[in-house]
Amino acid sequence: MKILILCTGNSCRSQIAHGFLQSFDDSLYVRSAGTKPAEQVNSKAVAVMKEAGVDISSHIPVNVMEYLDEYWDYVITVCSDADATCPAFKGRVGKRLHIGFDDPSRLSGDVNFIMTEFRRVRDDIKNAFARFYLTEIKKAEQPRYVCE
């Protein structure tokens, strides 16, 4: 199963979703990318994922153009901008979904408030992608029985 997660900068929300989804099932082929990728993954995203037991410190933002020719079972956007500007994939896409989240990387002010928001968004992403995993991926893997 191949899953591509898209965001604008590929530095925060898409990286968090990528990390969680891969942690749920390491047999999945998960990648994340951005329509306008940042230079590096947001350090606060790395920190809150480490608190959750998932290491994304080696992740690197990638431009979505690198993946346009590939087949993807799912392409999932996690921000409205990426959903609106997502390029047409030359490769085949099984399902395209949008699962949107607030962007904690755009906040300013008190560090405690910002970290609280990063944790809230991290937990929102974890819960949403756990539901996605259970309802889309695991459900698709279950055998279907036919009564005769």
79 to 84, 98, 102, 106: CA distances (angstroms): 9, 8, 8, 13
The two beta strands, 72-77 and 93-98, are parallel
**Around Cβ 8, how many Cβ atoms within 10 Å?**
24
Angle separating helix axes 13-24 and 43-51, nearest 10 degrees: 30
Q: Which listed residue (7, 21, 30, 54) is catalytic?
A: 7
Pick the catalytic residue: 86, 93, 97, 115? 86
State yes or no: is 12 an active-site residue. no
Query: How crowded is residue 32: how many other Cβ atoms within 10 Å of its Cβ?
Result: 31
Catalytic residue among 79, 99, 125, 137: 79
**Whether residue 79 lies in the annotated active site:** yes
C-alpha span between 17 and 23 (Å, rounded): 10
Active site residues: 7, 79, 86
